[in-house]
Structure 1
Amino acid sequence: MAVDDDPVNLKILTSVLSIKDYAMVTVTSGIDALIKLDTDHWDLIITDVMMPQMSGYELTMNGFVWKQRIYKRKYNHISYTLNSISALASFDTKRMSHLIDAFSSYLRLSFNFLNAEPMIPIEHELELVRAYLYIEKERFEDRMTINWDLPENLHFQLPPLTQPLVENAVRHGILSRSKGGTLTISIKELANDIEITIADNGKGMTAEQLQQLLSSQSNVTQGIGFLNTHKRLLRVYATGLQIKSKEGQGTSVSFIIPSEKRNMIRKNSYSQTD
């Protein structure tokens, strides 16, 4: 894929690379390139740096950095969990066995997430979230309370975005307080729409932090992850993250799967487990 707002440059690139039997696709903006990225697999992207609305750096670096942060978080989480398993082995083999089961599920689903299809069933997403939260609950015990508010007999597809939002709520929300807090995960039907909400009663954010969170110039620690999630939701559903937060009271992050996307949703047997 070649990305450039100058059609002359695109024509030159196409002429040069077509000699080498490359299958070329050209787009004239970073936004169009992001749409293409979600619809197919690409071997090479050549992009101009200076483009209106979105620079070449914004097109490539944010996604790259976000992916690297995901890998780093997965590595750290694996390290902490192995230490917990080792500690449990000396005094509670039953808990150790359950933790190993959850850890195995988490690893399998995490690697699936990193190579995920654009859309996955909600059951798979919730399975990963449950495995992650089981491990964190074993590590932090009374510092974490988890509430589930999920409907029965509901099945739909969504981008694999929920687990990173849950992880952010745990890390930057409830565990940012010494006494911990409560995490609530809810899925609600609103007429024909579906609303997914991850809420915590952690330290929350200032109005300035909240304003910066979805900005491309964000200096907030979790800003890049939120920004990429927000942009992906905009591309898929034309509606992004809705974030509400008050300092000292907590944060609520939600997104809507709108009614016009109901063709991706079908009723199915879905049993809720704790």
Structure 2
Amino acid sequence: MHCHRCGYQCSGGDDPMRLLKLRTKIILFTTLLVIGVVVGSFFLIDRVVRDQVRSRLVHDLERSQHTLEQIQKDRLRELVAYSIIASENSTLKAAIETFQTERATGSPILQQLRRTVENEAYKLFSILSADLLIITSNTGQVLAIQGVPVTPPADFNLLNQPSIVNSLSSKPIDFEQAASIWRFSEKVYRLVSIPILLQDIVVGTLSTGFEISPGLVQAIKANTDSDIVFVADGGIIASTLNASQNEALLSYLRDNSVLKKRDLSPSQSEMALKGETFLALKINSGEVSSGNFVILNSIDRAMLGIMGGIKKTMILIGLLSIILATILGLGLSQSITQPLMRFVNFMDGITRTGDLKQRFRHSTPNYEVDVLARSFESLTRSLEESRSQTAKYHEELRQKESNEEKLRTLATRSRLDALISQINPHFLFNALNTVSGLIDEHPAEAQRLTLKLSNIFRQTLQASQREVISLQEELNFIQDYLEIEKARFGDRLQVEQHVAVQWAEIPCFTLQPLVENAVKHGAAPKIGTTTIRIDVRQLDSLLTIQVSDDGVGMSKRELENVLERGYGLKNLIDRLNIHYQSNFAWKVESEFQRGTTVLLELPSQPSIGTS
């Protein structure tokens, strides 16, 4: 319909719907853009905060490590101090020394002496701040033990315990450093041992220790704000993690080669335990210990504490941004889309009617749409002016191309005829010389060759009327030609022919110049027998023709200028260029006094360049 307000053809029924679609697209685009910015900002903040949290947790782990080590050192130092004082108990020394002396004789007072040691141990245990007290002889036999729920047997021996071995040695190392782990009756103790000396002779050991229990690791966690796990002999002894996380941690420790190495310094690692990510630090519990403390800080819990507030803020900012984007989209659609849709309807009208003389008119000024309208009107004027010229030029060009095509066809045909005409005189002249030389001495042979020559004349005349002939026709032509040449050379000329192709078409006079060159330049100058080999094969989509001889061959200089040694090969290459439009390959190989080989690779179905 014609719009009286705008003055151009438009589809008024579609205008409100199209306007609504465009407004919706603008609002949707701005909303998605804001959401994308908010989400991208959140992920960027999350990554930055995660890196900062990880860095902070690394420092927290180091601080927790220092606190844990300090707690152990303080406790061990306290135990060593109390143990040294307790080891000076004279009654205890005398009872141990007497027990060891009488044990060899089997004296009946051994039980009394053991009870004396046990009584002194009970007194000392009651005043010491320790979870365990053990008194052994200098052979490691346990004489008294306090703090364990089950009494060990009378012959119980701890000579394999590293801390006791150290205290019994002649050159013991630092007692705190020699502290070791002792497992007994499903409990684990950290044990430190002091030698009991009587007149500078070690008569026994006094060992004290504290239990590594859930209560201990909970107390350490209260001081460090880190989860603490103690691992010994492939199992978890005490932990502040839940049961499922303990299982996951054990599996990780078995599979992770870093945490399994005992000879490394404390190592850090990031691990996921049942959906929660931790930053972990493993420290050995003494150089001769078989247990390790693992300190863990939860990255997820630290992130939740920081990102919780940020997430709420980002959601609030996102909602406000969406509201602002919606309002902005409505404003843009009101000021831009309505004039723009009128201009689109104007262009649709021109598309349907093809009237390039229409002009856009609108009631509400809009700079952007005005620029578009003026540019479009300038374009339509140029199109209108060029429309008539295009039709005229098109007709003239079509007539010109038709004339040029006719000229190209005539020129190509004339060139092909000229090239073929160069073959016949040269070849026929050589053939007539051969026959004339036999008439006087061998008239019967001359008569036979005359028949061959007539066949050659007839085939030449027929081939001149066609651009392509069958391969068999070309081979028959070559056979007649070679019969004449054999009459000239006698036994000096031998021919071998291998044709592995049942049927093919090739340009006329393709083999003839190659065979003629082999006779003229290979056999004629040579003293002795020359063999010419003709080989025709089909390789995929290529017809391969090879003509070779073992004649005198060519020098390198002659091979470089092979196309200048007469018209035969150059004439053939020019004709093949016309037939195949350069879609073929040729190669000449020659060695002086060894022979020459010419190879042609032609398409199986020739693409003729003339009509």
Alignment correspondent of 1:257: 602
Shift of 1:212: 1.6
Deviation of the 1:110 alpha carbon: 2.9
Residue 241, structure 1, aligned to residue 586, structure 2: yes
Q: CA deviation at 1:99?
A: 2.6
Deviation at 1:70, TM superposition (A): 4.1
Shift of 1:105: 1.3
Is the counterpart of residue 207 in structure 1 residue 561 in structure 2?
no
Q: Are 2:527 and 1:184 aligned?
A: no
Q: Which runs of 5+ in 2 are unaligned?
A: 1-401
Q: Is the 8 A contact 2:419 2:575 kept in 1?
A: no
1:156 alignment partner in structure 2: 504
Instruction: Say if 1:230 and 1:240, in contact at 8 Å, map to a contact too.
Output: no
Distance of 2:467 and 2:526 partners within structure 1: 35
Inter-partner Cα distance in structure 2 for 1:123 and 1:185: 13
Partner of 1:267: none
Q: Which residue of 1 aligns with 2:451?
A: 101
2:78 pairs with 1:78: no
Q: Distance in 1 between matches of 2:417 and 2:461?
A: 17
- Residue 174 of structure 1 corresponds to 523
SS in 2 for 1:84: coil
- SS of the residue 1:243 aligns to: strand
**AA of the residue aligned to 2:549:** D
Distance (whole Å) between structure 1 residues aligned to residue 487 and residue 540 of structure 2 = 37
Report what 1:111 is aligned to. 461
Q: Which position in structure 2 is the counterpart of 1:12? A: none
Separation (CA, whole Å) in 2 of partners of 1:82 and 1:101: 13
Q: Which amino acid aligns with 2:498?
A: D
Amino acid at match of 1:256: E
Sort the Cα spacing of 1:37 and 1:250 in 2 relative to 1 into closer, same or farther, 3 A: farther
Q: Which has the higher helix share?
A: 2
Partner AA of 2:492 in structure 1? R
- Give secondary structure in 2 for the equivalent of 1:202: coil
Within 5 Å, give how 1:28-177 maps onto structure 2.
37-38=411-412, 41-42=413-414, 67-68=421-422, 70-89=424-443, 93=444, 95-113=445-463, 115-151=464-500, 154-160=502-508, 161-177=510-526
Distance of 1:111 and 1:157 partners within structure 2:
18
The alpha-carbon deviation at position 168 of structure 1 amounts to 1.2
Shift of 1:188: 1.0
- Compute the TM-score of the two structures, normalised by the length of structure 1: 0.64
Q: How does 1:216-235 map to 2 (within 5 A)?
A: 218=564, 220=565, 222=566, 224-235=567-578
Contact 1:169-1:200 at 8 Å conserved across structures: yes
Whole-Å separation in 2 of the counterparts to 1:116 and 1:207: 39
1:74 partner letter: L
| Amino acid of the structure 1 residue aligned with 2:550 | N
For 1:262 and 1:25, the matched residues in 2 are separated by 24
Displacement after TM superposition at 1:129 (Å): 0.3
Q: Does 1:196 align with 2:549?
A: no
Provide, for residues 75-115 of structure 1, a one-character-per-residue CA deviation record: whole Å limited to 9, x for no partner. 232132133144212xxx3x4553333222122223334x2
Counterparts of 1:79 and 1:255 in 2: how far apart (Å)? Answer: 30
Superposed CA deviations along residues 112-146 of structure 1, whole A, max 9, x for unmatched, are 34x24111111111111000001111221111010
CA distance 1:170–1:118, shift in 2 (3 Å): same
3-state SS in 2 of match to 1:176: coil
Per-residue displacement from partner, 1:131-164 (whole Å, max 9, x unpaired)?
0001111221111010011126x11111112112
Evaluate the alpha carbon distance shift between residue 98 and residue 70 of structure 1 in structure 2; reply closer, same or farther with a 3 A threshold.
closer
Asked if the contact 2:434–2:485 (Cα under 8 Å) also holds between the matched residues in 1, the reply is no
**How far apart are the structure 2 equivalents of 1:142 and 1:211?**
32
Tell me the CA shift for residue 193 of structure 1. 1.8
Query: After TM superposition, what 4+ stretches of structure 1 lie above 6 angstroms from structure 2?
Result: none
Distance verdict in 2 for CA 1:240–1:133, change over 3 Å: same
Structure 1: 5+ residue stretches without partners: 1-22, 43-59, 265-274
Letter aligned with residue 156 of structure 1: A
Contact 2:536 2:545 in 1 (8 A): yes
User: Is 2:586–2:600's contact at 8 Å kept on the other side of the alignment?
Assistant: yes
Partner SS, residue 437 of structure 2: helix
Q: Which amino acid in 1 is paired with 2:431?
A: H
Match of 1:4 in 2: none
In structure 2, how many angstroms separate the alpha carbons of the residues matched to 1:170 and 1:158? 22
Q: Partners in 2 of 1:63 and 1:100 — Cα distance? A: 27
Residue 11 of structure 2 corresponds to none
Q: For 2:593, what is the secondary structure of its paired residue?
A: coil
SS of equivalent to 1:254:
strand
Aligned 8 A contact 1:233 1:240 in 2? no
Aligned match of 1:49: none
Q: Which has the higher contact order (CA 8 A, sep 6+)?
A: 1
Once residues 112 and 156 of structure 1 are traced to their aligned partners in structure 2, the CA distance between those partners, rounded to angstroms, is 18
Q: Call closer, same or farther: CA 1:105–1:36 in 2, change over 3 Å.
A: same
Aligned-pair CA distance for 1:69:
6.3
Aligned-pair distance for 1:236?
2.8
How has the CA–CA distance of structure 1 residues 82 and 111 changed in structure 2, closer, same or farther, with 3 Å as cutoff? farther
| Aligned residue in 1 for 2:352 | none
For the structure 1 residues 258 and 73, does the alpha-carbon distance in structure 2 shift closer, same or farther, using more than 3 Å as the test? closer
Q: Secondary structure of the residue that 1:172 maps to in structure 2?
A: helix
Q: Give the Cα–Cα distance (whole angstroms) in 2 for the partners of residues 186 and 72 of structure 1.
A: 25
Number of matched residues? 205
SS in 2 for 1:130: helix
